[in-house]
Amino acid sequence: MKFFAFNKKLYPLIAIAAALFIIIFGLVTARSVNCAYFLCGVLVWLCVFGCLKTCLKMLPALVIIGGAFSLIAWASAGREWSAALSMANRFAAIFLAAAVGMSTEAVRMTRSLSQVHTPRAITLGMLISMSFVPMLKVEIRRVREAMKTRGAGSILNPKILYRAFLVPFVMRLVNISDTLALSVETRGFALGKAPYSIYKKEYPALSDVIFVVGLAVGAALAVVL
């Protein structure tokens, strides 16, 4: 077992706790300039600890959406930059917390929750919810590719959007839900107190401890300085 590995993603339970801490700290201290410094440090810290790809994917959305709402806050508050900074910090905290959660693999999260004897209903719900978004992206891409192959036309046309995109997409989702239900049943997932075993257990590594310490030190410096 590797106790120290930067290329390994964060321990799932630590990742969820870190996401909650980031969003709460960011919302509470949003009016402070030090909060912006803290969130920038969190972005770098996450990139170091295996969340680089997720952060890069989230960064354009953060810049566009957060920047737009910051400008709205700046204009509505009489052109006060403190309002824009506060809005930007809030959005940055939300997006960084989402990046931490999205970097966690559904399988590892399920194993970790099972190890701490989390109720199976919660474990199963987390597994399905974390697997749904990537599955949704794949299905959207497949439907779009099928539309291009058949020469269906532009998706901006309401008729084409309904008949060539929405109908096949909904049918795919129905089939996926049926397959998912059978898959869960055949793999022995039960909502009762049935005994179960964990094939591969998850444990925190030394890198997880360093991540938590760095996050705590950064928050303390943002408050004290």
Per-residue pLDDT of the chain (225 residues; tens, 9 = 90+): 444 445 567 888 898 899 999 999 999 999 899 999 999 999 999 888 888 888 888 888 888 988 899 999 888 888 888 889 999 999 999 999 988 888 888 788 888 888 888 777 777 777 777 777 777 778 888 888 888 887 777 777 777 777 788 888 888 877 777 777 676 666 666 666 666 677 788 888 888 899 999 999 999 999 988
Q: How far is it, in rounded angstroms, from Cα 64 to Cα 66?
A: 6
Classify each residue of 30-47 as buried b or exposed e, where b means 16 or more C-beta atoms within 10 Å of its C-beta.
bebebbbebbebbbebbe
Q: Are 202 and 11 in contact (CB under 8 A)?
A: yes
Please give the model's pTM, rounded to 2 decimal places. Answer: 0.74
* pLDDT score of 22: 94
Q: Are 8 and 71 in contact (CB under 8 A)?
A: no
